Structure 1
Amino acid sequence: MNDPDGRGMLRRKAVTRALRSRPGQAGWQRLALRFARAGHGFWLDDCIDRASLLAYTTLLGIVPFAVVVFSLWNLVGFDDSLRIQLNELVLRSFMPSVGETVLRQIDRLAARGTQLGYFGVAGLAVTAILLIQAIERHLNAIWGVSPGSRWRRILRYLLILVFGPLGLAASLVLLGPIGAMLQWFGPLPKALTGLTALVAFSVEAGLLSLVYLSLPAARVTLRDAFLGGFAAALLLSSGKLLLGLYLRFSTFESLYGALAAFPIFLLWLFLAWCGVLFGAELAAAREGRAPAA
């Protein structure tokens, strides 16, 4: 939007100054002001539009990314039980109730993709890297930093593409014995469900924190990344709950029939990216930082 007289920038600076912490304020007041700065940045950085773009980009790149992940797992020698655990984790943490239909299709397409051979998987890896690049571009815009040198970025993409799936597999291997131990307490189904949900939430918050640490070209502290990751995971869980309530009382599924899963999945991707971008704004909302244009 054009702002030839600079009034928008003046308003932005005025709001930023008003949202700064004051000496002697309590910790909860400083945290509340940080959330206010994050909300201000979310609006000024056009994060709603960015979430829409990332939702469509994710819809196109999620299958190639899953193919690369499963191919890497097959190359290392992990069995199919990890894929089952990943499906359960994604359904429990990230997707609403209709996600099972979409996840089943993604899993089927990804299983086909692993049979393409090395050159086919390498071609899909390029698409997965483009997805990572799109996420990095929007995060850099939130932090207000330049992307850095091309070769350093390519190296970072490859490291994320290789060590990200391996780290996820390692976490799933560790969660397997925990799940088996929890199932030993059969007479406590409510406690089992709550503890399982807590473990899934912790994994979700940890993964989002790693995204904020590794992808932006800015220096992000562990404290800022974990704060943003926790808030984003909380927003994802809330969004999944609200979307489930909306679908329960709406005529969306009866209107679209069997095709309802994919527009609902696209809507969920949009809500999820809104939560992830707000978490990025919160991680970047340090004192004295003005939101990016």
Structure 2
Amino acid sequence: MMGTTRRRLLALALLVGLVPMQQAGAQDDYPSRPVQLVVPYPPGGNTDLMARALQTELTRALGQTVVIVNRGGAAGTIGDAQVARAAPDGYTIGMSPNNPLTAQPHLMSLTYAMDSFRFLCLVYDNPQVLVLGRNAPFRDFAGMVAHARSAKEALVFGSPGQGSTQHILMAALLKALGVEGLHVPFTGAGPMSQAALGGQIQVFVESASIPAATGLPVLATFSKDRMPNLPQTPTLTELGHAIEGSSAGGLIGPAGMPDAAAATIQRACATSVASDSFRQAAERLNSVPRYLPGEGFRARFQAESDMNRTVLRDLGLAQ
């Protein structure tokens, strides 16, 4: 009887000791099967195109196929929510832009927050620019400020949607100027650009690809330094208003991902972003490749989330 008990205890001890070894081995072998990359928008949009530009290089660097799964809807929050509730094993990650993470949680009740994710790597960072609409009654930034101060809501500005990154940046600028503008929301950058070309709005904020495609002038940039493709255009900081903002995105995973898996993805991400093929694809999309590891990526988005909370509260939009 005593011998049987001892054998059972020994077997149990071996079993308990084996589980951590098996888990460690599984992490060491990561990835041993395809990795699902959730894009929180339908195919064809900027986030989807950037994910597909990264896909080939990420597959090569990881040694496993990266499969893109589009889960659009609710301003990107449906796809990000799927990533947040996925098994934290590194086999479901997401490519998310900033707005679903740094703005939408302040606008609506969601099943996730910043702490729901493991931030893996920033992939692209597109500084926003202040674009002049056709037939506006001013031609430069100083003229815009004077016009905005001439009467309440004299300045008519557009955005690709209330609570969008572009709306928030324009609201922050107006607050810094101490003026009020008339906001005209659109369903996206395309309709907004057409309205600017038609003289229906005077200014708007967007990525530099929009004025490049439409021929509309740029009054200022929200970048830290002057942009290489707009060397004559001043930054808002140069103009006396230290406001920076961009449409940025990167890879995220569910909180609780194993450190080993996260480190593997970060290394693969750094290699992929530095590759010629990704940089060339990004340039064709008028995007700026930029790698930041997990800690820097999270700090960047957390600072933006804090700013958005304040701006959206001032606008009466924060919940």
The TM-score, its normalising length taken from structure 1, stands at 0.26
Higher helix share: 1
Q: Greater Rg, structure 1 or structure 2?
A: 2
User: When you count strand as a share of all residues, which structure comes out higher?
Assistant: 2
